Every structure is written in C-alpha cells, then in structure tokens.
Structure 1
C-alpha cells in the first residue's frame, strides 16, 4: 500500500512538471475555473487545492496504468516489436489521453490540447521523471 502511495506522489510530481513545461496541458478544478472566469486569473486558487488536484489526477493516471495499460501493451505487442519499442511512447500518450477523458467526469480536469504532440511530449516527460524517481529507495515495488 505504501508503494502505491509513493507511485501516486511520483505521478502527481511528473504531471506537475509536464504541465509546467508544456503549455498545451493543464490541470484545473471547478473552483479555479470559476475563479478564473470571475477574476481573469487562476491565482485565486489555494496551494493545497492545487496539490490535491495534481495528486487526484496522479491517482487516476495510476489506476489507468495499473488496469488498462497491461491489456493495451499485450494487444499491441506485434506493433511494439516492429517499431523496436517506440510504440510504447504512443501507448503512454494514449493512457494520458484516457486519463484526461476520465477526468472530465470528476471535479478536477486534465486538459490536453493536441493529442499527438502534447500527449507524446508529456508521456516522454512523465516516463523520464518516473524512471528517475524509481531509483529512489522505497519507490520500487517489492
């Protein structure tokens, strides 16, 4: 259970870095959207709410990666072998896009402007951060 919480924290951190680097990706809540409409800025949201929003999207992303990704990887194994593993980036982008779609049913929304470029670049950023964070003792599954 502790490993899952660490993975959610890593996913939240990776999503924050990806939204910080890519302008086509954003995480917002209903409260920040209404504050943005009233004030014209998103600075009215409190820091704890923003952190919880990233952790919530990180939780959704972790669940999608735990349940959907293994099936998609198995079904796309021939294409992955043909592309020497590069199709894995497309699979990661599709999982990110599925997370964005699932988040439309929650109060916290992940929006991705362009599937191809933004989602591909975000999946590369998230994969690199997850790989580096996986080197931290205790972050690996035992």
Structure 2
C-alpha cells in the first residue's frame, strides 16, 4: 500500500513540476503516473549501470556528475513515454533537481514506522 502512495505522490510531483516548468509537459494524470512508474523502474535498473560506467568522472567532479546521470534517466523516460516531453538537457537537470526536492518533501509526510 505504501508503494502505491509513494507512486501517486511522485506522480503528483511530476504534474506540479510540469505545470511550473515551461520546458516540461505531461498530457494528463494517467501519463504522470506512468512517468512516475517508468522513472522508478529506470532508477532501479538503468541508473546503477550508468553510475558504474561514469564512476571516474563522478569521482573527478566530486559527485556532481550524478545530476547529469539523473537528467539522462529523465531524457530516457522522455523517449519512452509519448505523453511526456522534456525540451532539453538543462530542463531535465532542473526537473531532476526539483523533482528530488519535491519528492523528499512529499514523502516526508508519510509515517515511516
């Protein structure tokens, strides 16, 4: 049950950010739920592979390259989902940062007993 609530909160964060940012668009609420689900799956399977492959540059930049890795995951989700669009890498970086902050705020309201 908690997984579904986290997924819906992530979808809410996607909708809010798509309404705020000009370079990001989502067709509807169902698409936002699909975006949240696909981002979760990509973060589970693809992101660790990207982190390992880019480990030298991540160490060189003291971890700041992970922001670009997050943006690449978002752009990959953009190419997989037809109702979700991100205009470029910089919009993906901004979306990634704001999505992380908003998800942290929304998930902090859940009671983790």
Q: Same fold (TM over 0.5)?
A: yes
Deviation at 1:132, TM superposition (A): 2.1
Secondary structure of the residue aligned to 1:137 is coil
Q: Match for 1:69 among 47, 52, 61?
A: 47
- Determine if contact 2:14/2:99 at 8 Å carries over to the other structure: yes
Contact in 2 for aligned 1:11/1:61 (Cα 8 Å): no
Deviation at 1:111, TM superposition (A): 0.8
Pick the structure with greater CA Rg.
1
Judged with a 3 Å threshold, the aligned counterparts in structure 2 of structure 1 residues 6 and 74 are, in CA distance, closer, same or farther, namely farther
Offset at residue 20 of structure 1 (A): 1.5
| Structure with a larger share of its residues in helix | 2
- Pair 1:98 & 2:76 matched: yes
How many Å apart are 1:87 and its aligned residue? Answer: 0.8
Instruction: Name the CA shift for 1:136/1:25 in 2 (closer, same or farther; >3 Å).
Output: same
Gaps of 5+ in 1: 29-49
Provide the residue aligned with 2:103 in structure 1: 130
Query: Displacement, 1:125?
Result: 0.5
Q: TM-score, normalized by length of structure 2?
A: 0.86
User: Which residue in the other structure is 1:21 paired with?
Assistant: 20
Which ranges in structure 2 are unaligned for 5 or more consecutive residues? none
CA RMSD of aligned residues (A): 1.9
- The number of residue pairs the alignment matches comes to 113
Equivalent residues of 1:89, 1:124 under 8 A apart: yes
Distance 2:86 2:78 in 1: 7
CA distance, structure 2, for counterparts of residue 14 and residue 81 of structure 1: 30
Given that 1:25 and 1:111 are in contact with CA atoms closer than 8 Å, whether structure 2 keeps it comes out as yes
